[in-house]
Structure 1
Amino acid sequence: MAERRNWTEDEVTEALSLYLRLPFGKFHSRTPQIIRMAERIKRTPSSVAMKLSNLAALDETLPQKGLAKASAMGRQVWARFRRDPSFVLVAFEAQLQPSRPQMPGFSEQRQADWIAKQSEVTRRAVVQRRGQSFFREMILNNYRSRCALTGLDDARLLTASHIIGWQEDDTHRLYPENGICLNALHDRAFDRHLISFDDDYRMILADDLPSETKRKLTAGASERLQLPERFLPGPAFLMHHRQRMVERQNTPPLG
């Protein structure tokens, strides 16, 4: 039987990483990801599932709440995540490597030692890939793995689109409110500021788009974004994106 003990900060952080990438309806002891985490940290699947529900009680973006009771450690970890989501990446890495021997929780020092051995270029590439993978899983989960404009539900054709681009501002890269699940075509248009969205989540088409392109982009697309289960697109992020679209249209082409 798993030893009864208080949850550590590392364990709660790992639970949070899983919480962000699982649908609310899968917070139960039969979910494979919950079972694997429980085995790794020497807890029962039921206790891990309950911890995810405790975290849901702290999620102010959810229409429904989880268990009302939330620990002081849970509140501390949630508050840290809302300030800087990037700290969950070490926990995400632990969940990607379930076969690696682990002490209860996981070893941040072991991860830090491994990273330290890499060159700076390699280290940055690893962190970037890890962050992009985490962001994709989180955003697709929020949108039930459906394009927010067309309802397309094949993950191979879906993208976790950044509202403020990955390269544009590294401080907002992993905020869940900075992502929208879009199909490949609309993601390309969104990334190039050819389309945007207003404060009511209605699609805006750039003035300089050819009429046939406008028709293709609106065909089969809903007038407004189908909103996620949690973490609505941030109004400030959308405003920034619209401003970038205006700037692009007002910039004379080169040559």
Structure 2
Amino acid sequence: MHHRNPEVIALAHLVERTPGSVAFKLANFASFDPTLRARGIKGAANAGRLDQKVWNEFYSNWTELAFESELRLANKKQTAVEELIEESELLQFPVGRTKEQLVKVRINQAFFRKAVISAYNGTCCITGLKQNELLVAGHIRPWGVDEANRINPSNGIAINYLHDRAFENGLITITPDFHIRVSPILLKQQDDTVKKYFHKYDGSLMHLPSRFLPDPQFLKYHNDERFRA
């Protein structure tokens, strides 16, 4: 969040502010971030009521305000909002919708991926792999199960494709205290490949994000409803 960050500098240019003032505003918002608080990072001490209002509004309505923020960013860049995303960043989306609805879905999916991967600093939460092309932003509560939290970064984890597939199918999970559990279905297998890619992670602490810590209630849902114990 410092003033030398290239993204902070670029945003400052767009909104006609100094990088220092943008970084200062980010520090104000950081004072409300529960993940940063849990890590002992307090953010700015002089955040105001308006900062709190903006934070609360955004945090309680990801679907609408993530899209609105991207629209405003596109407007500042004098481009179409579709130009802010790349095909490689998009997840599958439902068919049979209007063009405007599809654009919104695509923008929100791209926002979710960027927010989650960034929160984990481009690191797989299971293995520690740092290769962006091999990572996905996986949902803890699936897209089709919890519409209100589809875009909530606290409902996401950065995870590699192999373990994402295992997570989706309940072969691995993450406990509410952020430890990895491997299903007995895999633990019973003595194949060297299964041991290498799964057994050794059982009981390990996941790689935690720098912000948007996974919501323990979402993790509890995955443990109770999806994990094949």
- TM-score tier (shorter): 0.7 to 0.9
Match of residue 183 from structure 1: 160
Q: Once the two structures are superposed, what CA deviation does each residue of 1:7-40 show, in whole Å capped at 9, x if it has no partner? A: xxxxxxxxxxxxxxxxx4xx21x33322222222
Bigger mean CA offset, 47-56 vs 237-246:
237-246
CA–CA distance in structure 2, aligned partners of residues 216 and 121 of structure 1: 46
Q: Which runs of 5+ in 2 are unaligned?
A: 80-95
Deviation at 1:191, TM superposition (A): 1.5
Deviation at 1:60, TM superposition (A): 2.6
CA–CA distance in structure 2, aligned partners of residues 70 and 201 of structure 1: 30
Query: Within 5 Å, which residues of 2 pair with 1:67-106?
Result: 67-86=44-63, 87-95=65-73, 99-100=77-78
Paired residues in the alignment total: 205
Find the structure with the greater CA-based Rg.
Answer: 1
Deviation at 1:231, TM superposition (A): 2.5
Q: Which runs of 5+ in 1 are unaligned?
A: 1-23, 102-118, 251-255
Deviation at 1:132, TM superposition (A): 1.3
Deviation at 1:226, TM superposition (A): 1.4
Query: Within 5 Å, which residues of 2 pair with 1:15-30?
Result: 24=1, 27-28=2-3, 30=4
Partner amino acid for 2:219? L
2:221 counterpart of 1:240: yes
CA–CA distance in structure 1, aligned partners of residues 12 and 212 of structure 2: 27
CA–CA distance in structure 1, aligned partners of residues 155 and 135 of structure 2: 16
Query: Within 5 Å, which residues of 2 pair with 1:157-236?
Result: 157-209=134-186, 211=189, 212=191, 214-218=194-198, 221=201, 223-236=204-217
Distance 1:208 1:220, change over 3 A: closer
Match of residue 89 from structure 2: none
Query: Within 5 Å, which residues of 2 pair with 1:78-157?
Result: 78-86=55-63, 87-95=65-73, 99-100=77-78, 120-157=97-134
CA–CA distance in structure 2, aligned partners of residues 44 and 76 of structure 1: 23
Under a length normalisation based on structure 1, what TM-score does the superposition of the two structures give? 0.72
Amino-acid identity (%): 35
